[in-house]
C-alpha cells in the first residue's frame, strides 16, 4: 500500500468518525431538547425520559431537524414558538457536542 493510499484511508476514517460524533451529538441534543420540552409540559421522571427518547427516535427516522422543531411546537401547543425552540436547540447543541467528545475520550 502506498503512502497516498494510507493517507486516503486515514482521511476516510476521520471523516467517518466525525460523522458518527456529529450524529451522536445531534441525537443527544434532541434528547436534551425533549427533556426541556417535557418539563414545559409538566412531565417528569419516566414520562419525561419516554418523551425525550421518542423525540430522539423520531429524529433518527426523519433526519430533518425541522421535523423535531415542528413536533415539539405542536406538543407544546402554542406555549413556546418555533423560533424559541430553534434557539433552545442551538443553545443545547454545543453542550451535547461537548458531552459526546468527553465520553469518547
Reported confidence tier of residue 58, pLDDT bands at 50, 70, 90: confident
Domain layout of the chain by residue ranges: 3-104
Mean pLDDT value across residues 59-71: 81
Extract the C-alpha cell encoding 89: 436547540
26-37, pLDDT tens digit by residue?
Answer: 999 999 999 999
CATH fold for domain 3-104: Major Prion Protein (1.10.790)
Average per-residue pLDDT for the chain: 90
Percent share of the chain, pLDDT over 70: 96
pLDDT value of residue 63 = 67
Measure CA 104 to chain center: 16
93 pLDDT above the threshold of 90: yes
Extract the C-alpha cell encoding 85: 425552540
Amino acid at each position: 500500500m502506498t503512502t497516498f493510499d494510507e493517507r486516503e484511508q486515514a482521511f476516510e476514517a476521520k471523516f467517518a468518525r466525525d460523522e458518527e460524533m456529529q450524529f451522536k451529538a445531534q441525537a443527544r441534543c434532541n434528547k436534551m431538547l425533549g427533556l426541556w420540552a417535557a418539563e414545559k409540559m409538566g412531565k417528569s421522571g419516566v414520562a419525561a425520559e419516554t418523551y425525550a427518547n421518542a423525540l430522539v427516535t423520531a429524529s433518527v427516522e426523519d433526519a430533518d431537524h425541522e421535523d423535531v422543531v415542528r413536533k415539539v411546537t405542536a406538543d407544546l401547543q402554542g406555549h413556546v414558538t418555533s423560533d424559541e425552540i430553534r434557539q433552545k436547540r442551538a443553545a443545547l447543541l454545543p453542550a451535547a457536542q461537548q458531552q459526546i467528545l468527553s465520553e469518547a475520550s
